[in-house]
Chains A and B, each alone.
Chain A
Amino acid sequence: MDLNSDLGEGFGPWAMGDDAAMLGIVTSANIACGGHASDPDTMFATLRMAAEKGVCIGAHPGYADRLGFGRRVIPMEPAEIARMVAAQVGALQGVAALAGAKVAYVKAHGALANLAADRREVADAIAGAVKALPGGLAILAISGTELEAAGRAADLPTFSEIFADRAYLPNGRLVPRSRPDAMILGAKAAADRLIDFLDSGRMPVIGGDPIPLAAQSICVHGDSPEAVAMAAEIRARLTAAGVKLAPFRA
């Protein structure tokens, strides 16, 4: 099982989260590409740090909306989305070349990921861009989504993730952040839920029976001191439960 986290989400003088701490916890890092967060210097520093720690690197493209942190949909045609994803992932690949790092996969961010979960034409646009880029990139998609299907249909190495700290709906989608019950609070609750899931293959949902989900990766967040502590405890609990943690993609 892989542990992934969104990293490199600072911008200019502003930091977000403790990337150094998170890179000691996760096995894969989804690195922002300058769309919803980051800039060339932040990208370089994050890539360097991830490479030094032997963490697998993914590109984390999002809507080019720093003010909204890529969390609101900007209406775009699928072809425009493909170009935006290609530009952002290509940018990270370029900085990675300077930093002596390699981008192994792509994971969409925020509103783009949520839209690609439900809208096949958006998912196909992302998969098409990833397929066109060099480097044999894989796709990391939210489990059970259109993006996962699009990645497979495009014959891309496709992996799926579940979220350690987000509640699920009966249709397998995440409870929107705007709802008070969106987050799983507390490391113990999150770890208990993950261990149950790994045993049963079924994820608890709000308003229904647990649903089957496949996953090769678990997403943990590190954007606050509490989140880093939660990620560390989840790693410790999974390891203690005999779960072997390694990148889904070498």
Chain B
Amino acid sequence: MPVTVNCDMGESYGLWRMGDDAGIMPFIHIANVACGFHASDFDHMRATVRLAKAHGVRVGAHPSLPDLQGFGRREMKMGREEMANCLIYQIGALCGFLKAEGMELNHIKPHGSLYGMAARQEDIAQAVCDAADVFRVPLLGMTGTLHERVYPARGHGFVAEFYADLDYRPDGSLIVTREHDAKDPALMAARCLRAITEGKGTATDGSDIAVRCDSICIHSDTPNAVDIARAVRTAVQPHT
């Protein structure tokens, strides 16, 4: 399966800007587009879909817990049906803009705390699948978590992500940071290549960890995100 590069996109809101979407879009294959609950609004959703289309980038939904102020990074307790409804609402909204541009939904990638909750909580992973049942597209997630166990068990495609610009603990878990420091693009590119060719990553203590890399995630809010995106895309191009 060819590897893709993905990035969260369209995370501005009203007059407030986030990330250099126009700078990064040329280097990614698939965009996870915010659906209005942790970021974005109808104008930014339309503009982001159009920007992706202009670059031949496929668009997936990036739904979240309903929390703009917390940017979807705070856990909220919700029941399975409530969570599924929350996701169907957001993905459906994005599908409207995709339809308007003659595009199809490519995938779903839950955002922020929802991503983490679905990795650990069975009912939330099931709720994500309940929503995916409606749209029938693959789900992006983390290897070694409930994503990998529940999504395929429910008949959904599972695309394992490798994070180019985040660190991993020796147990293989991801260290999610709220703010990202600038990273060395060459080092990030080398990490991605190793993940693809060897299935290995380097943990914070220097030890090797097993990773799976169907898609590489880069973050747009890293200070040198465009440089990282360019370096990663160039390095992994033969595998894409």
Contact = CB atoms under 8 A, between A and B. Distances in A.
Given A13-B71, A39-B69, A67 B18 contact: no
B16 A11 contact: yes
Given A14-B16, A14-B17, A67 B41 contact: yes
A67 B43 CA distance: 10
Interface in B49-86: 68-71
Contacts of B68: 11-12
B14 A10 contact: no
Interface string B132-172: 00000000000000000000000000000000000000000
Chain A, interface size category, equals: 10 to 19
A12 B70 contact: yes
Determine which residue in A13, A67, A69 has the highest number of CB atoms from chain B within 10 A of its CB, and name it.
A13
Q: How large is the interface on B (under 10, 10 to 19, 20 to 34, 35 or more residues)?
A: 10 to 19
A207 to B, nearest CB: 29
A10 B12 CA distance: 12
A35 to B, nearest CB: 13
A239 B234 CA distance: 53
B89 interface: no
A10 B41 contact: no
A11 B69 contact: yes
B1 interface: no
A199 B36 CA distance: 50
A154 interface: no
Interface of B: 12-18, 39, 41, 68-71
11 contacts: A11-B68, A12-B71, A13-B39, A14-B13, A14-B17, A15-B16, A16-B15, A66-B13, A66-B14, A69-B14, A69-B15
In the A-B complex, the 4 residue pairs with the closest CB atoms:
A14-B16, A12-B69, A13-B71, A67-B14
